[in-house]
Amino acid sequence: MSRVTTTDLYEVTMAMSYLREGMDRPATFSLFVRALPPARGFLVAAGLEDALDFLSDYRITAQDVQDFAAVLNRPAEDLAPLLGLRFTGGVRAVPEGRLVLAGEPLLEVTAPLPIAQLVETYLLNQLSHQTAIASKAARCVIAAAGHPLVDFSLRRTHGPQVGFHIARLGALVGFAGTSNVLAAAELGIPAVGTMAHSYVEAFPSEEEAFRAFARAHLGPLTFLVDTYDTERGVRTAARVLRDLDRGPGSAVRLDSGDLGRLAARAREILDTAGLPGVRIVASGGLDEYAVDRLVRAGAPIDVYAVGTRVGVAADAPYLDSAYKLVEYDGRPVMKLSSAKVTAPAPKQVHRRPGYADVIGLLEEPPPADGHPLLETVMRDGRRVTPRGSPAEARARFLTDLAQLPAEARRITDPVAPRARVSDRLAALTDRVRRDLETGTRPPPGPPR
C-alpha cells in the first residue's frame, strides 16, 4: 500500500464529491494546535520535512484507485477521476525547531480543493506527533541544564519509524546521541550504548563480564553496575578500569533505584579509587520531571539517558491539532461550532519580543517590531527550499528558546504566552461570522 492510501476514508469520499461537483478551485487549509497541554509552555515545530517529502511524491496511481475502490466496495471506474491527481499546490510553514504557541498555524496548504483535502490526514499525523515529541524532548534539554542527554527510546516507541523520528527530534533540540543504530547511521547522530543486564548475567561473575566487555571494545567503556548490588558493581567497575588503565572517558551507568543517592555514592567510590574522570550515566524511566529533580538536588550525574516516557510523550501524548479550511476560491470561510471556532483566511504569525505574537491576515503588514514565522517552502508542488538538517533546526530552536519568557520554560506549572489576533483578522472574523449567521454569502477576501 502506498502512502497515498495512508488516509482516512472520508478524505476520499469528500474528494470524490468535490470532483463530481466541479469544485476544484484553490483552497487554503490551516494546520494549528488549538490549545497547549496543561504541562506545556510552548511547542517546538517539527514534522515538516516528512510532510514535504510526502507532498512532493504525492500522486494517485491506478493501484491507489483500486485500493480505494476495494475499501469503498465500488467499481474502480467510479473513482477514475482521482487517477493521476498529484499535489500541485503551495505550502507556507513554520520551519522545524522554531517555538510556536496555541492557535498559531504550523502550516498552511493552498491547492485545488480535492487534493488539499486528501493530504489532511498524513499532514496532521506527522506534524502533530513530531511536534509533541520534540516539545517533550526540548523540556528535557531545559531540565538537564547543560548536562548531555541521549535517546534510549527505540525499544518502547510505538513502532520503529517512530523510533527513528524520536532520534532525529532529540538531535533537533540538542541531544548528544542515540542508541538507534539506523538513525545514527542515516542522520549522522553519535551512536551511544552500553550493555544490558542480560550480558552481565550471562557470565559467572560481574567482574568477568566487565573484563570480557573491555576485551571486545578498545575505546572508553561504560559498565552497567546495578545488575546485582549497585555499590559493589561500582567498586568492581572501578577495579577493572584501574587495572586496565581505561578510566579516562569511561563511565558507569545507573539504571534503577534512588538515582540521586546512588550517584553520590558512586562518585565517592570512583574518586576514592583515583578515577575522577569516570563519568556517571543515569537511565531508567527518566523524563524532564525526574531530570529536573536530580539536577536541582545536585546529583553528580554527568549524562542523562531518556527513553520510554520521552519516546511516547507520556504526560502529553497528543496535541489538540486541527486542519481547517479557511478560504475557498477567494472566499474566506470559518467554523462556528461551540469551542471549535476557527478564524477565516490565510494567515501569518508575527513574532514579537517577549513572545507577544500577533496572528494576522497574510497580506497585512507586520508590526514594526515583529518578523514572520511562516515561510514559503513549496510552490507548484515543488520544494523551494533545500531539505533542512537537524543542526539547522537546532540553531533555530536554541535562538528561540533563549528568548522565551522564564515562566514558559518552567518544568512544573509553566505559563504559556498567548498570541493575540490582529485588528484586521478580528474584523474579518466578525464579518464572516455575521454573514454565516444571517445566511448571507460572504464576499471574496482581499486580492493576494
Strand 420-421: give its sheet, edge to edge: 371-372, 347-351, 358-361, 420-421
Give the range of the structural domain holding residue 378, as residue numbers without chain letter: 3-133+316-438
Residues 161 and 245 in one domain: yes
Residues 108 and 214 in one domain: no
Cell numbers representing residue 386 in the block: 533545500
User: What pLDDT was estimated at residue 218?
Assistant: 87
- Characterise 274 by phi-psi region: left (phi > 0), alpha (psi -120 to 50), beta (else): left
Residues 106 and 153 in one domain: no
Residue 178 resides in a domain = yes
Residues 349 and 420 in one domain: yes
Q: Which amino acid is at 272?
A: T
User: What pLDDT was estimated at residue 443?
Assistant: 61
Residue 445 resides in a domain = no
Residue 11 resides in a domain = yes
Residue among 326, 335, 332, 346 at smallest CA distance from 443: 332
Residues 324 and 429 in one domain: yes
Please give the chain's pLDDT, 448 residues, in tens: 689 999 999 999 999 999 999 999 999 999 999 999 999 999 999 999 999 999 999 999 999 999 999 999 999 999 999 999 999 999 999 999 999 999 999 999 999 999 999 999 999 999 999 999 999 999 999 999 999 999 999 999 999 999 999 999 999 999 999 999 999 999 999 999 989 999 999 999 999 999 999 999 988 999 999 999 999 999 999 999 999 999 889 999 999 999 999 999 999 999 999 999 999 999 999 999 999 999 999 999 999 999 999 999 999 999 999 999 999 999 999 988 766 789 999 999 999 999 999 999 999 998 999 999 999 999 999 999 999 889 999 999 999 999 999 999 999 999 999 999 999 999 999 999 999 888 876 666 554 4
Residues 231 and 348 in one domain: no
Distance of CA 345 to the CA centre of its chain: 26
Residues 256 and 183 in one domain: yes
- Measured distance CA(49)–CA(127) in Å, rounded: 9
Instruction: Give the single-character DSSP code of 81.
Output: G
Residue 419 resides in a domain = yes
Residue 181 resides in a domain = yes
Residues 307 and 321 in one domain: no
Residues 352 and 293 in one domain: no
Residue 299 resides in a domain = yes
Cell numbers representing residue 3 in the block: 502512502
Q: Are 262 and 294 in contact (CB under 8 A)?
A: no
